[in-house]
Amino acid sequence: MAFSIAEAFAPATVANLGVGFDILGLALQGMGDRAIVEFQDAPEIIFSEIRGDDGKLPRDPALNIAAVSARALLDHVGEARGLSIRLFKGLPLSSGLGSSAASAVVSVIALNKLLGEPFTRAQLLPFCLEGEALVSGYHADNVAPCLLGGIILVAGTTVNAIQPLPLPDQFHLALVTPDIAVPTDSARKILPKHVTLKTMIHQTGAVAKLVDALHRGDLAALSQAIEGDRVVEPARACLMPMHREARAAAKQAGAAAVFIGGAGPTLCAVCESAVIAEMAASAMQAQYLAANIPCMSQATGVDQCGAVVLNAY
């Protein structure tokens, strides 16, 4: 059955999980971007509507992630028609919640439906990466979990480099996102250009321990590995006011580990129950509000479905 309009949803994501810089990411339940994509006879891609971005996203299709990703798929299949896109941003920009990845994925998932779903979700990865590369570089630590859901090991930018990892039974998350933008390029520029051999050995060991802990469902070992980063998070902590205070508050509320979501400023706390996640989210939020810094917080879990088509007609 042929469709001319499709509506899709792509979830928020957080990358790195502490020690897994650019190679680990997970999808989050709840928040995400939504798009309605419609074929049009003219070959151009246009935005008929963008909401939720406070007017910050470019309307030029050559500069907008959602359009660039969709164009990559259209060109690949040789589709002459263009698109009208209505994009509804449910994610704050530059927040460490995979906003750019969600924009890339949501338009491609909808377009794939219009084309008759010639590609599996994993096979859509290269097209999504074309859009993500505009602002975050050509890496898949947000795009892959956004597409596929779950916790993903990203060993490269091809489909065969993407490996889903098991999710422990008791794995809950508390998030707080202060109203402060941390652009990915700024967060990358602050990283050290060189690390010692000793640090490299520690870092790779921590990643190995994290993957092992996921396979064994060992939350204590997982939490220890997540907090073992000696390279990226120590360098980026200065970009996030109240980082130390919010981290301590989450721990006092019972969180097992706390890490920076992607480039930040979102902080993510790993918790062994939904109750603890609620308490940790409230505790972190209280720290920012006491400092007169607006923020949003939530207790959530891992979205194991990834991006989905909501409607097609």
Task: Report the catalytic residues.
Answer: 132, 184
Instruction: For CA atoms 3, 7, 9, 10, give the dihedral sign.
Output: positive
What is 271-313 written as a DSSP string?
A: ESSHHHHHHHHHHHHHHHHHTT--EEEEEE-B-SS-SEEEEE-
5-165+303-312 classified as CATH 3.30.230.10:
yes
The CATH homologous superfamily to which domain 172-300 belongs is: GHMP kinase, C-terminal domain (3.30.70.890)
What local confidence, expressed as pLDDT, does residue 1 receive? 65
3-state secondary structure of 233: helix
Model pTM score: 0.94
- Residue 234: closest CA among 174, 192, 186: 192
Q: What is the pLDDT of residues 48-59, one digit of tens each?
A: 999 999 989 999
Q: By the 8 A CB rule, do 65 and 50 touch? A: no
3-state secondary structure of 102: helix
Question: Where in the sequence of the chain do the CATH 3.30.230.10 domains occur?
Answer: 5-165+303-312
Strand-pair partners of 124? none
List, by residue range, all CATH 3.30.70.890 domains of the chain: 172-300
pLDDT digits (tens, 9 = 90+) for 170-226: 899 999 999 988 777 778 888 999 999 999 999 999 999 999 999 999 999 999 999
| R_g (Cα) of the chain, nearest Å | 19
Kindly report the average pLDDT of the chain as a whole number: 94
